[in-house]
Amino acid sequence: MAREGNDSIVHNYSSSYDWNPFEYGSVHQGRVFYLASIVGPIAIFVGVFSNIFAFVDVVRSRLWLKDEGYVYLAASFFANVGILLFCMSTLGLTSVSGMDRYAPANSSTFMCKVWHFLMSIFFAPGWLSVALLFNVYLRGHLTHRRRCECPMFAAKYCTLFASKIIVGVIFSVLFMLGVPYLAILEIHRYGRCHPSQNNIMALSVAFLVEAIIMWVLPFIFFLPLILLMTLCTKREGGIFGFSQIEERSVSDEQMRVMAVTLSSMTLFSQFALVFLCLSFRGVLIVNLVLALVFGISLGLQPILCFVILKALRDGFRSQLRNIRCCRRLFPSLDREEEAVQLSTIQGDPPRTTES
């Protein structure tokens, strides 16, 4: 009898493990299954492509030489790619019953440790948004010569060197907070990535510390406060002067609009994703829709950057001019370059020869 009971348990486990989710999903789960298996990967692919495209445009055009805010934007694009690849794909696979065994983290012990270590990048956008918005806020005080409590700090913060240091510190802290996952997680006999019985408390403490430092502090305290301060700051209008000063002012205003838009989207999407997932934990359709909407919002961020930031569009056009096939497909690129060269020549003062 005991042998028959054990055989039945093994048979039930093997049958559930060998269950084909594609056949089951097509019969019983219908639209929910296809939402995860078709629409989700398309949204992830489009988001990854748009963020990589924007990141390459910023790097190739060296836009951080014009405004150090592009350092934070490039870091945000890089973080979005990691979130889409490691976090959204895992959430989509583990949300559908039977597909969790196809998640990369459940393939081996090495992937279990490394995959959850890389999933820590989910917490990167918080401090990146705070740093970008704070940079825009301080630069507005310096540009329009408003009263500032610490002018020396503002002048040093709004530099290219300081921006690189801040981004490096953010990712270094994120790296250190993700190291415990390499030692705690492991693959169990049922092929699932979980901590052992002795490491459950250690995993809870590690996740709690990471959530407080990288999520609660930026999203609960700093980002709403700085966003409110930036929105309440009076903008200066009617700036007249040299063309370079006017162009710089327009660029700062575009970066200000981009920082406010990006921070608002990040704040809203993070709150919606975390709190709704906690409120409707275990509800399949809610998890899938939230993962899909969050992935689409990450893919829309670089598109909004191209719409708002003129320097990013100009950098994209300059990169197309360097490609011969693009010149043949879009002859207007040659005309734009000739117009720029002609305006430059006409803008030069005439040379006078002394007799």
Question: What confidence score (pLDDT) does residue 40 get?
Answer: 76
Per-residue CA distances from 152 to 31, 141, 149, 158 (Å): 58, 12, 9, 10
Provide the 8-state DSSP code for 198. Answer: G
pLDDT tens digits along 252-295: 888 889 999 999 999 988 888 777 777 776 666 777 777 788 88
Q: Say how far apart CA 105 and CA 111 lie, in whole Å.
A: 5
Question: What confidence score (pLDDT) does residue 234 get?
Answer: 64
Question: What confidence score (pLDDT) does residue 354 get?
Answer: 41
The band of 327, judged by pLDDT with boundaries at 50, 70 and 90, is: low
Phi, psi (deg, nearest 5) at residue 147: -70, 130
pLDDT(125) > 50:
yes
Class of domain 21-334: mainly alpha
Q: Say how far apart CA 197 and CA 112 lie, in whole Å.
A: 16
Top-confidence residue, 248 or 205: 205
Name which of 25-34, 155-164, 218-227 the model is least confident about.
Answer: 25-34
Question: What confidence score (pLDDT) does residue 70 get?
Answer: 93
Question: What confidence score (pLDDT) does residue 121 get?
Answer: 84
Q: Provide the mean pLDDT of the chain.
A: 75
Residue 318: CB atoms within 10 Å: 16
Question: What confidence score (pLDDT) does residue 207 get?
Answer: 87
pLDDT(36) > 80:
no
pLDDT tens digits along 226-239: 999 888 876 654 44
CA 261 to chain centre: 14
